[in-house]
Structure 1
Amino acid sequence: MFETNNDDDRGQVGIGTLIVFIAMVLVAAIAAGVLINTAGMLQSQAEATGEESTDLVSERIDTTSTVGIVESESEGTLEEIRVGITAAPGADDIALGDTVVQVVGPNGQANLVYDDEATDITDLDDGFVAEDDDGEFVDASSAVLDDNNDFTLVFNPGAEPFGTSTEPFGEGDESALDIVSPSSATTQVTLTAPDLFTEDGEAVRL
């Protein structure tokens, strides 16, 4: 008895194997594409996260001094609260007009923003302003911290949350400030007034 080979059967097996092989190649190609896209997306996210983390460290505002100007020694009140600031080492230009100061004081909590309309300390009801080395208020467009410019932030101790017009921030009072730069880098400052003032117009360390 003789065996016969069926060429049609062998052809069908060969075509089936080829189809399976092509399918495997297509699946592998799709999987590779997905992996490449995922890797690219993860790289972009990592770069963005790295930049944000760098900004949170470098785009920070440093404080150089915290001072209060005594309004009335007999009543124990302050006329001004002054916080000297400078850009942290390596920071790019920091726009104070886009900076927020979060304050927790004796009269509650508030987010203070730059008051570009203020011409006098009494104008600062719910904001702050920057003062240059000449003692002049600076408009928001010019209030930019960089390697050449430092400023003093000025606050009204008679405005909430520091105090009120009848009971300004003064002897023994304390406030906590978070100075938040445009990149969301935060600098924490605690202001503590001395328990006793000795002279009208004197500068006391807070």
Structure 2
Amino acid sequence: MFETILDEEERGQVGIGTLIVFIAMVLVAAIAAGVLINTAGFLQSQAESTGQESTDLVSERIEVTSPVGIVGSESDGELESIKLTVTGAPGADQIDLSETTIQAVGPNGQANLVFTTREADGSTTIDPNTDNYATRIDKGEFAVLKDGTLQDGSQAVISEDEQYTIVVNPAAEPFGDLDGTDTSSGVYDGGSYTFAHGDDNAVFGQSDESSVEIVSPAGATTSVELRAPDLFNTDGEAVRL
């Protein structure tokens, strides 16, 4: 019933072959397991990164609590400044406003605005105590104030429930018609604007509308629609936009 193997050499060869096949199977299984572990680790890391980015897009967002305009000329229906009071969204970490960008579409086209502390001439620091200082901010730029004080790059950082004010020039593109401002054009002198194109209606004002998107350093976007009232009453008054 059972075959007796008398050839010892043949019996040994069969054992070695089986062992080689077994070792090969173990090696293949080990390599496959290593690949699976590495792939799982990579996918986990990628998932964590994607999850963090998705969380940042929701939480690291800037909220606009009060968009207002300051009337520069009631008779001309023009603003001298546009101010956006901002704070961090609930749960947000610190948000650096100097690394924030503003994508604006207005009556005179579209533009991307970046942080600045300088007037349009590039050499003068913005002084919020100067009358009509906002009209000295160049196109494509915005300034940041806190409690009426200009903030530099290291100070313009939102944390907890702090509020800051973003200020833009309503006479500069895309809000107004100025394609650039300096000491001879685009500056409000207390009585009238000097326009780059000689257009008496080149400043954001009565009934004008603009769309603004504030993009935080994490990429979170806040959209704001600005619409000036149809009628201004008094020079220097604050109007809701």
TM-score scaled by length of structure 1:
0.93
Residue in structure 2 matched with residue 17 of structure 1 by the alignment:
18
- 1:161 aligned onto 2:196: no
Question: Which residue of 2 is the match for residue 185 of structure 1?
Answer: 220
Opposite residue 7 of structure 1, the aligned amino acid is E
Structure 2 SS opposite 1:182: coil
1:131 paired with 2:145, answer yes
The structure whose residues are more often strand, as a share, is: 1
Give the residue type in structure 1 aligned to 2:86: I
Distance in 2 of aligned mates of 1:52 and 1:196: 44
Match of 1:82 in 2: 83
C-alpha spacing 1:155/1:18, structure 2 compared with 1 (3 Å): same
CA displacement 1:115-168 (0-9 Å, x = unmatched): 1224131331120011111x2221121111112531111010001011124311
Q: Equivalences for 1:143-162 in 2 at 5 Å?
A: 143-147=156-160, 149-162=162-175
Offset of residue 6 of structure 1: 2.8
2:101–2:115 contact (8 Å) kept in structure 1? yes
Task: Select the residue among 189, 206, 209 that pairs with 1:171.
Answer: 206
| Aligned residue runs from structure 1 range 26-175, under 5 A | 26-118=27-119, 119=126, 120-125=133-138, 126-133=140-147, 135-147=148-160, 149-165=162-178, 166=195, 167-175=202-210
**Contact 2:73–2:79, Cα closer than 8 Å, also in 1:** yes
1:198 aligned residue = 233
The runs of 5 or more residues in structure 1 that have no matched partner are none
Alpha-carbon distance in structure 1 between the residues aligned to 2:5 and 2:51? 71
Q: Percent identity?
A: 62
| Cα RMSD (Å) | 1.5
- Return the letter of the residue paired with 2:136: D
Deviation per CA, 1:43-93: give whole Å up to 9, x if none.
111111111111111111111101011111121111100111011112111
Moved more, 47-56 or 18-27: 47-56
The Cα of 1:4 is off from its aligned counterpart by 7.0
Rounded Cα–Cα distance in structure 2 between residues aligned with 1:136 and 1:162: 24
2:40 and 2:234 mapped to 1: Cα distance? Answer: 66
One-letter amino acid matched to 1:173: D
SS at match of 1:200: coil
Deviations 1:78-110 (A, max 9, x none): 110011101111211111111111111111111
CA distance in 1: counterparts of 2:217 and 2:5, whole angstroms: 85
TM-score scaled by length of structure 2: 0.80
